[in-house]
Amino acid sequence: MKNASTRKPDSSRSRDEMRPEYNFSGGVRGKYVDRYRKGTNVVLLDPEVAAAFPDSTSVNDALRALLAIAKRTETRKRT
């Protein structure tokens, strides 16, 4: 059990009260949401996959190569 003297004392300020320096009264809700949705596509890679592709360029190059192979395979199946 922790020693009671090592705990921070409870603040007299309510936990629901916002500090004056955090004033968002002039903020606009959702100002950048459309821009974010248009240009953002976050994908989480498994660690072993991420280790093989050190940056976004290598990931994009690999995926483009895979797309090219898939398109060639699809074309061959149709003929």
pLDDT in tens, 8-64: 655 565 677 888 888 888 899 999 888 888 887 788 899 999 999 999 899 999 999
Who's near 45: CB < 8 A, 6+ residues apart?
Answer: 53, 59
Tell whether 21 is covered by a domain: no
Q: How much is the pLDDT for 75?
A: 78
Which structural domain, as residue segments, surrounds residue 55? 28-79
Q: How much is the pLDDT for 12?
A: 60
Note the pTM of the prediction, 2 decimals: 0.46
Angle at CA of residue 35, ends 40 and 63, nearest 5°: 25
29's torsion region: left (phi>0), alpha (psi -120 to 50) or beta?
Answer: beta
d(CA 58, CA 55): 6
Of residues 4 and 70, more confidence is placed in: 70
Neighbours of 63 (CB within 10 A): 11
Tell whether 75 is covered by a domain: yes
Tell whether 19 is covered by a domain: no
Tell whether 67 is covered by a domain: yes
Tell whether 76 is covered by a domain: yes
How many structural domains are present in the chain? 1
